[in-house]
With several copies, the nearest count.
Chain A
């Protein structure tokens, strides 16, 4: 779960990591109240989770309070990459001497957390890594001993800092580690971490992605997520509520399957045959009929969907349950959109019988079914 910039900065502040003076505003009154407390020049930043917010016009600058109010007003009426701006973060611009990068994420191969730091910051870390690989410092955190102040000092030294600056970075790095651990962050980064013209350090932007699987330990964010404050499509919100893994894509073939790998391979196969998937939807393992019906309803509620592909390889999931779910959904939604069903595995015969009796044709080969649905999406159903 991606946190908003203001949420991330509030967390950093809690861990005594300096951030620019600033605050959140959702309307004009709040904007006015805020700007009187802040010293221009100011930055006004749309609180949206889309990548490339800056380039998409989501960050404005103002040299006066009046200008800042105008900028905030403008942003609060705008959409950034299709997402309505509900709040803006207004903060004092800082005097940049140098932009650094410091982040902590997971290292799959080493089964641990890893610090990535660089004396080049302000762009995506992947970009830094490809442009100036020699400036990337990687520090693997030993899960037994954790990340200590002295590790922070070692990194600060490798970044070329000494004296008070080294001690200041020590506190910031160590604080970020604790914040990351306490909030179950799968990614926590300061980018840029700015060295100011007077030699201080300020986290000018911060990003935190909380491990979805750990949200049970962070009820405040779980609630925020469920309240729909984040930027989910209606389908995504409905899927989340029903514990279905759904991702909206650009095409017109609705896809439902069991197991993330199988669904991904289904999308790939559709694409291989020239079709365009409208979504990813994994019903997970052992889904009962009602859950499958919900999945169908979600996918069919997307107006872009022209045809539906249900691809089930029954292991824990029972084909008869899937068949019943399909009929249930059909009855409730009353859809006339064409469906291609591929159903093999546990209780396959019973599933096929149920569907065949309802005049729904069932295929056995994934490839064949994919070809069929692509055809339909292009030229219409039979």
Chain B
């Protein structure tokens, strides 16, 4: 078993005809992901990589009954696309789009909760189950199938760490980016629960960053629930000054929860080893001898 997506996942791509959408559809197809159709309003009836393009998710669903969607639609229209996927019965939605307004994201998450759907992102590199399927934009060659689950709030930093794991022959069960925005579908606790149930996953790497208190809550959860699998954490932003937003809409320190110190301290008191540099994660994992 792996987390959220596998070889049977049948996905549509919303915004398939855009530059990003078409580029990554190609890469996903090459990786083996089962993309069954694309949706771009106004481009219905055309084809791309031999995939049919529809004006509406409704029509795509009538013909393909997909169970996942990956969204590349521009920010002002992305929430509408996500709601469209939700209303048409799609239960796994990856929102790659960044710069979605908070108000729109709140609305999307509320609807997802109501219908019991899983949203990954927005502003995420997506999710990959190495050598099986990917719904995302990550460079696939740096990943390798194995037993480490990775969950992260950041994109390239995940690649950095995943690549260093792969180099040390520490393969990954599933790597998932929560997304860099303040409001995202999944949080660390949701993902820890998934990794707990997943028999393939032997240890979890949690890549956090400054801003918000999702890392603190995850640390409390690990401690409270006596989380049964080893967790290694890395927190970006130790050197960040308060009040300045570091790129990600989420990465801003306001208040004490939110600082790297607060997060690191909480993880350490929950028995979670925290790497000082990205390169240290693989070493800490190697010491676990799993």
Contacts and interface: CB of A to CB of B under 8 A. Distances in A.
Contacts of B132: none
A285 B99 CA distance: 13
B238 interface: yes
B5 interface: no
B247 A150 contact: no
Contact of B209 (A129, A130, A264, A272): A264
Contacts, number: 225
A344 B100 CA distance: 29
A315 B139 contact: yes
B116 interface: no
A345 B111 contact: no
Given A111-B183, A157-B55, A264 B243 contact: no
Nearest to B237: A264
B77 A149 contact: yes
A232 interface: no
A219 B140 CA distance: 39
Contacts of B238: 268, 271
B229 to A, nearest CB: 22
B236 A261 contact: yes
Contacts of B152: 261
A315 B156 contact: yes
Interface in B213-263: 213-214, 217, 234, 236-241, 243-251, 254-256, 260
B180 to A, nearest CB: 6
A265 B101 contact: no
Interface string A24-59: 000000000000000000000000000100000000
Contact of A145 (B102, B111, B236, B241): B111
Given A143-B106, A149-B80, A247-B245, A157 B250 contact: no
A111 B183 CA distance: 6
Contact of A366 (B57, B99, B239, B279): B279
B109 A143 contact: yes
Interface stretch (A10-18, A195-203, A209-217): A209-217
A257 B111 contact: no
A367 interface: yes
A130 B157 CA distance: 33
Given A154-B58, A261-B209, A272 B81 contact: no
A338 interface: no
A213 B239 contact: no
Nearest to B243: A51
B256 A148 contact: no
A109 B156 contact: no
B154 A260 contact: yes
Interface in A275-323: 277, 280, 282, 285-286, 313-316
B117 interface: no
Contacts of A156: 55
A214 B157 CA distance: 26
A213 B160 contact: no
Interface centre among A130, A142, A186, A257 (most CB of B within 10 A): A186
B103 A211 contact: yes
Interface stretch (B30-38, B39-47, B197-205): B39-47
Contacts of B260: 268
Interface string A59-76: 000000000000000000
Contact of B44 (A163, A268, A315): A163
A359 interface: no
B61 to A, nearest CB: 11
Nearest to B235: A268
A260 B247 contact: yes
Contacts of B217: 109
A244 B209 CA distance: 20
B114 interface: yes
Given A106-B182, A109-B214, A113-B106, A164 B247 contact: no
Given A167-B42, A264-B210, A269 B278 contact: yes
Interface string A219-261: 0000000000000000000000000010101100000011111
Interface string B150-165: 0011111111100100
A261 B207 contact: yes
B155 A261 contact: yes
A131 interface: no
Contact of A184 (B103, B107, B279): B103
Contacts of A186: 102, 182
A148 B278 contact: no
Given A126-B254, A261-B157, A282-B247, A150 B241 contact: no
Interface in B44-94: 44-45, 55-59, 75-77, 80-81, 83-84, 87
A319 to B, nearest CB: 11
Interface centre among B80, B209, B243 (most CB of A within 10 A): B80
12 contacts: A126-B254, A150-B80, A157-B44, A211-B101, A216-B76, A259-B155, A264-B236, A264-B239, A280-B247, A285-B155, A315-B125, A345-B159
Minimum-distance CB pairs A-B, first 7: A261-B154, A260-B247, A259-B156, A261-B157, A150-B84, A214-B101, A143-B110
Given A213-B75, A272-B276, A316-B23, 6 more contacts: A108-B250, A184-B103, A261-B153, A261-B209, A264-B239, A282-B246
Interface of A: 51, 106, 108-109, 111-113, 125-126, 129-130, 142-145, 148-150, 153-154, 156-157, 162-164, 166-167, 170, 181, 184, 186, 211-214, 216-217, 245, 247, 249-250, 257-265, 267-272, 277, 280, 282, 285-286, 313-316, 344-346, 365-367
